[in-house]
Amino acid sequence: FRASFFQTHADDHPLVAHFCGDDPSTVGRACRMAADLGADAVDLNLGCPQRVAFAGHYGSYLLGDDDRQTVVAIVKAMRAAAPPDVAVCAKVRLLDAPEHTRKLVEDLRDAGAQVVAIHGRKRATWHKK
């Protein structure tokens, strides 16, 4: 299934595999599979503001203080699973204060992210009814 679903061409480089999730082990295994299939980089999407991301507990809904350890663990798992020549990246949104965004980026860097892209909008906040 993976081989037929994840197809590339020799000219598809650099190739970045983009993931979402809230389980470090699962995301780490996905990164290893993507690297084995030729990805040059793996990217964690911490920017998705969609309602489905809220319901699934991923994307920008992992940017709260209560999920920081989970996010750090995910990036550490990505770095541990990906070969050294595969870049680990993350996409985030702005937090409520610039110093909070800076701290998040530093935490991601310290966990093993080599590239952090910051989407210039704040994260969405869906509330359960």
Query: Catalytic residue positions?
Result: 48
Contact between 68 and 100 under an 8 Å Cβ cutoff? The reply is no
| E strand or H helix at 118 | strand 115-122
Contact between 19 and 45 under an 8 Å Cβ cutoff? The reply is yes
CA distance 77 to 55: 23
| E strand or H helix at 46 | strand 41-46
From 128, 29, 50, 45, select the one nearest 93 (Cα to Cα).
45
